[in-house]
């Protein structure tokens, strides 16, 4: 335990995102004196300008298709109109509710919240607003920020942060990027009524995902009316009285009223004054115990350059607080078989190795696939298909990867991720009775 008489705090957390809040709260429950600095909003990117509002807006976009699909089931009604301002207002109310929950969690645990940004003066001293604060141990949990383009007119482009606060729904939007953020916003804006053009440097979106899933996804995007511009870059953005013009590398000029850069994220460390403690700005390198090059200064979450997933930051922060202040000895979080999802349409859910990764790692594998029209669309009339893929290691019959693109795939994959984590074999999947009629039963009946 720290020397309480030497410092203002035993543990000071920089950043009020999910990882930082969890670590601060758990440390306080173990009896540590804990402070936390957050100059913007509690809950961080995920709660405020990331997964939570993005999922809410994806739900809103999905309703567009649901209304159309209902006709095939006998529901006769005029097409409802969409009000962007109502969505944003209700989204803001929900985020405010979550902010308050985070504050209450910290207050109830006895964590002192400092509503300002923190920067280092020295290894144990921080400038937090007008205060100078000392701490025995310090955690950096500042997360990440969107990358921006270095082109003429880049200041006319929004990033993902801005999309949650637009005054109006764009009629036409050009989205630059081929990763999960880009395709999720393509779904959101297309579903809500915008005309979307997706521009990306690669030949197929979602690099790093299983190739069969990527190819299936492109077909579904095209059915939805999203204009795809592969192997293309935006060279400049021009603003005129009518809006914006995106000048593309293939010579095409696209008129739009919004252009978004969705080209990844970087560690948010620029205002921490890390060089004052001998740590370089940018992605923070940590060891297996999340210590930086200065052992009493630690970092967790997106700022360390690992998988940018909220549950990972939470597990890291929780483990750290338990280990340091609770004297709890348990293995650090595992990064194998982490399930992930992309909330595009149709959803993508994935866990374990892709076919390409399995081959690269030398596995002798058998591939099982099922491509079908979900039951709901046999009557909705929608031309949307589901693809499920299972990768089995022939040496021990263990299922080492499952990849699904289709209705509710994110919900489906959570349970199957437990099975993969537990080391389930294909024989166990085969012995499991499927729930009929569901899409998920396909994973228990693949032959």
Residues marked as catalytic: 436
d(CA 221, CA 384): 10
Neighbours of 319 (CB within 10 A): 21
Q: What does each C-alpha distance from 333 to 276, 330, 337 come to in angstroms?
A: 30, 9, 12
Among residues 385, 380, 383, 406, the alpha carbon closest in space to that of 70 is found at: 380
Q: At what angle do helices 18-29 and 310-325 cross, to 10 degrees?
A: 20
Among residues 146, 431, 427, the alpha carbon closest in space to that of 302 is found at: 146
CB neighbour class for 444 (10 Å; exposed up to 12, middle 13-18, buried from 19): middle
Q: What does each C-alpha distance from 298 to 288, 301, 306 come to in angstroms?
A: 11, 11, 14
Among residues 17, 38, 27, the alpha carbon closest in space to that of 319 is found at: 27
Neighbours of 397 (CB within 10 A): 15
Which residues lie below 8 Å from residue 155, measured CB to CB, with a gap of 6+?
A: none
Q: What does each C-alpha distance from 215 to 66, 206, 209, 219, 387 come to in angstroms?
A: 24, 10, 10, 7, 10
d(CA 39, CA 119): 11
> Are β-strands 399-405 and 386-393 bridged in parallel, bridged antiparallel, or unpaired?
antiparallel
d(CA 38, CA 347): 33
Which residues lie below 8 Å from residue 78, measured CB to CB, with a gap of 6+?
A: none
Kindly report each contact of residues 292-298 with a partner whose C-beta sits within 8 Å and lies 24 or more positions away, as own/partner: 292/140, 294/123, 296/123, 296/124, 296/136, 296/137, 296/138, 297/123, 297/137, 297/138, 297/139, 297/140, 298/137, 298/138, 298/139, 298/140
- Element containing residue 352 per DSSP (H, E): strand 348-352
Residue 391 phi, psi (nearest 5):
-115, 125
Q: What does each C-alpha distance from 33 to 2, 17, 134, 165 come to in angstroms?
A: 10, 19, 12, 37
């Amino acid at each position: 335990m720290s020397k309480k008489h030497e410092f203002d705090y035993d543990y000071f957390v920089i950043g009020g995102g999910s990882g930082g809040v969890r670590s601060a709260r758990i440390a306080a429950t173990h009896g540590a004196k804990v402070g936390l600095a957050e100059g913007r909003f509690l809950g961080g990117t995920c709660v405020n300008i990331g997964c939570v509002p993005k999922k809410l807006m994806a739900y809103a976009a999905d309703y567009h298709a649901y209304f159309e699909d209902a006709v095939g089931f006998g529901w006769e009604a005029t097409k409802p109109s969409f009000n962007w301002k109502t969505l944003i207002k209700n989204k803001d109310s929900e985020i405010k509710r979550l902010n308050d929950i985070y504050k209450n969690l910290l207050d109830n645990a006895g964590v002192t919240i400092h509503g300002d940004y923190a920067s280092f003066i020295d290894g144990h001293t921080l400038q937090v607003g007008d205060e100078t604060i000392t701490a025995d141990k310090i955690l950096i949990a500042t997360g990440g920020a969107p990358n921006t383009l270095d082109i003429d007119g880049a200041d006319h482009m929004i990033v993902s942060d801005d999309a949650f606060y637009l005054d109006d729904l764009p009629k036409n939007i050009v989205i630059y990027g081929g990763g999960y953020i880009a395709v999720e916003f393509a779904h959101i804006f297309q579903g809500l009524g915008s005309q979307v053009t997706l521009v990306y440097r690669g030949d197929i979106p979602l690099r790093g995902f299983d190739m069969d899933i990527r190819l299936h996804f492109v077909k579904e995007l095209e059915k939805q009316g999203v204009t795809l511009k592969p192997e293309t870059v935006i060279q400049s953005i021009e603003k005129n009285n009518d809006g914006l013009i995106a000048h593309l590398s293939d010579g095409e000029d696209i008129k739009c009223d919004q252009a978004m850069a969705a080209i990844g994220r970087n560690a948010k460390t620029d205002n921490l004054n890390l060089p004052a403690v001998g740590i370089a700005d940018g992605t923070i390198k940590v060891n297996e115990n999340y210590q930086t090059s200065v052992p009493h200064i630690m970092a967790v979450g997106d700022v360390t350059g690992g998988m940018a997933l909220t549950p990972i930051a939470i597990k890291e922060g929780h483990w750290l607080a338990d280990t340091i202040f609770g004297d709890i000895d348990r293995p650090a979080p595992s990064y194998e078989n982490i399930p992930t999802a992309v909330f595009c349409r149709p959803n993508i859910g994935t866990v374990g190795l892709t076919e390409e990764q399995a081959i690269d790692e030398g596995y002798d594998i058998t591939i099982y696939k099922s491509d079908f029209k979900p039951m709901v669309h046999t009557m909705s009339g929608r031309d949307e298909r589901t693809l499920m893929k299972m990768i089995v290691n022939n040496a021990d019959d263990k299922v080492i990867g499952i990849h699904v693109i289709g209705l509710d795939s994110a919900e489906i994959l959570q349970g199957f991720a437990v099975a993969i984590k537990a080391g389930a074999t294909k024989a166990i999947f085969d012995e499991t009775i499927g729930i009929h009629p569901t899409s998920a039963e396909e994973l228990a009946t693949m032959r």
